[in-house]
Amino acid sequence: MPFNIIRNDITKIKADAIVNTANPEPVIGGGTDTAVYNAAGADELLAERKKIGDIAVGDAAATPAFSLPAKYVIHTVGPYWQGGEHGERELLRSCYRKSLELADKLNCKSIAFPLISTGVYRFPKGEALHIALSVIQEFLLTHDMEVTIAVFDKSSFELSGKLFAGIDEYIDEHYVEESVSSEYYTNDMRRIREIERERMRVKRQEKASLDDILKCRGETFSEMLMRLIRERDITNPEVYKKANIDRKLFSAIQCKKDYKPKKSTALALAVALELDMPTTRELLAKAGYALSPSDKSDLIVSYFIENKRYSVMELNEALFEHDMSTL
Structural contact between residues 187 and 45, judged by C-beta atoms closer than 8 angstroms: no
- Whole-model pTM: value is 0.80
For residue range 252-285, what is the model confidence (pLDDT) as tens digits?
999 999 999 999 999 999 999 999 999 999 999 9
Amino acid at 258: D
205 CB contacts (<8 Å, ≥6 apart)? 212
For residue range 31-83, what is the model confidence (pLDDT) as tens digits?
888 999 999 999 999 999 999 999 999 999 999 999 999 999 999 999 999 99
For residue range 130-140, what is the model confidence (pLDDT) as tens digits?
899 999 999 99
Whole-number pLDDT of residue 153: 58
Structural contact between residues 305 and 277, judged by C-beta atoms closer than 8 angstroms: yes
Residue whose C-alpha is closest to residue 15's, from 63, 67, 70? 70
- What domains, with CATH codes, occur in the chain? 3-156 (3.40.220.10), 170-185+219-321 (1.10.260.40)
Task: Considering the candidates 9, 16, 33, 153, report the single residue annotated as catalytic.
Answer: 33
Angstrom distance (rounded) from CA 289 to CA 284: 5
Whether 33 is catalytic: yes
The DSSP line for 119-182 is STT---HHHHHHHHHHHHHHHHTT---EEEEEE--GGG----TTTTTTHHHHHHHH--SSS--G
* Cα dihedral value 273, 275, 279, 284, nearest 10: 60
What stretches of 22-132 adopt beta strand conformation (E)?
60-64, 72-76, 110-113
Say if residue 161's pLDDT is above 70.
Answer: no
The better pLDDT of the pair 248, 186 is held by: 248
Angstrom distance (rounded) from CA 146 to CA 194: 43
Q: Residue 5: in which H helix or E strand, if any?
A: strand 3-7
> 142-156, 280-294, 303-317 — which is least confidently predicted?
142-156
Structural contact between residues 171 and 133, judged by C-beta atoms closer than 8 angstroms: no
> 296: how many CB neighbours lie within 10 A of its CB?
17
Angstrom distance (rounded) from CA 39 to CA 20: 12
